[in-house]
Amino acid sequence: MHVAVDGAAAGGWEALNHLVEVLIEVDAAGDEVVARSALKLVAGVAGLVARLDRHARQAPWYGPYQEGALRRVGARFSVSTSGPVAMALASMHGDGQIRERAVTAMVGRPCPEVMPFLVLPTGDWVKPVRDRARAGLALLLADDPGGYLPAVLPMALRLDARLRGGFAVTQIRAALLSAADEVWRGLLGSGGRRQRRFVFDIVLAQGWLRLPDYVTCAEADSDVGIRVRAADAACREAVWTRRHDVLRRLARSVRAEVRVVALTGLVRVG
C-alpha cells in the first residue's frame, strides 16, 4: 500500500490507476481496519485525493488502461454492504447517480477516514450529489467536531484554493465556533502551516487567547506567520493596558519580526 501511494504521489495516470487497483484489493479483503488505514494513508498525501478525483474522469484513448479501475467500482458498489474504501472510490465515479449513492453511504456510516472524500462532492457539479454531501458534512461536523474536523480541515483548505471548498470551509468555521476549547487547541497544535494559520486567525478574531498565550506564541511558535500575528495581538493589548513590561520583553526577543512589532508598541506608548 505504501509503495502504491508513493508511486501515485509522484507518478502519472498509470500510477494512479495502480493505486486504485490496490485499493480495490484492500476493499475486497473485507478488513475495515486495514481499509480505513489505507484511506488515511491516501488522504495524508497533499493533493492525492483531488488527483484521484480527476483521474476518475480521465482515461487514455489507447493502451491497456482504456477502462480506468475507478470506473469498475460502480459495478460492485452497494450502499448497505460496501466498505469505506468502496464508498470513497465510488464517490469519485463518473456516474452522478453512483456518486450520490456513495455520498449517502458515507453519511450513513461515517468514519474520520472517509471525511476527506466527503468534502470533494460538496463542490460537485451535479446538484443532488452536491446537496446531499453538503447536508451530510454540516450534520456530521455539528454532531462531532472533535472527531471530524481534523480529517476535514486539510482537504477543505486545499480545495478552497481551487474555489471548490468554500462551503466546507464555512462549515468548518461554524463548527470551530461552537466546539470545545480542546478541539481548536488540538488543531492549532498540529497540522500544516495553512491549517494552523486558519485556526489561529479564528481564535484571534474570537479573543479566545489571553495575553500570556499571545506572548508564548510570539516567542516560541515555529511558524513566522503565527509569531507575527501573536506579537501584534500581544503588543496591541499591552499598549491598551499599559503593560510596558510585555512590550519590553518582546522587544528583547530573538525573533526580529517580533522585536519590530514590540518596538513599534513602545514608540506608541512613549
Q: Are 20 and 68 in contact (CB under 8 A)?
A: yes
- Residue spans per domain, the chain: 2-208, 209-270
> Which pTM was predicted?
0.87
Residue 17: the pLDDT is: 87
Other CB atoms within a 10 A radius of the CB of residue 53 amount to 19
Instruction: At 80, list the grid cell.
Output: 448497505
- CA–CA distance, 89 with 102 (Å, rounded to integer): 8
SS3 11: coil
Q: b or e along 105-117 (b: 16 or more beta carbons within 10 Å of the residue's beta carbon)?
A: bbbeebbbbbbbb
Per-residue pLDDT of the chain (270 residues; tens, 9 = 90+): 888 898 988 888 789 889 998 998 998 888 999 999 999 999 999 889 999 988 887 755 445 554 556 666 766 677 667 789 999 999 998 889 999 999 999 999 999 999 999 999 999 999 999 999 999 999 999 999 999 999 999 999 988 766 566 899 999 999 999 999 999 999 999 889 999 999 999 999 999 999 999 999 999 999 999 999 999 999 999 999 999 999 999 999 999 999 999 999 999 887
- CA–CA distance, 145 with 143 (Å, rounded to integer): 6
Amino acid letter, 102: A
Residues 6+ apart with CB under 8 A from 191: 150, 153, 154
- CA–CA distance, 71 with 255 (Å, rounded to integer): 53
Residue 61: the pLDDT is: 41
DSSP per position, 197-264: HHHHHHHHHHT-S-HHHHHHHHHH-S-HHHHHHHHHHHHHHHHHTT-HHHHHHHHT-S-HHHHHHHHH
The listed CATH number (1.10.1060, 3.40.50, 1.20.120, 1.25.10) that belongs to domain 209-270? 1.25.10
Which of 97, 87, 167 has the alpha carbon at shortest distance from 129? 97
CA 22 to chain centre: 24
Q: Are 231 and 262 in contact (CB under 8 A)?
A: yes
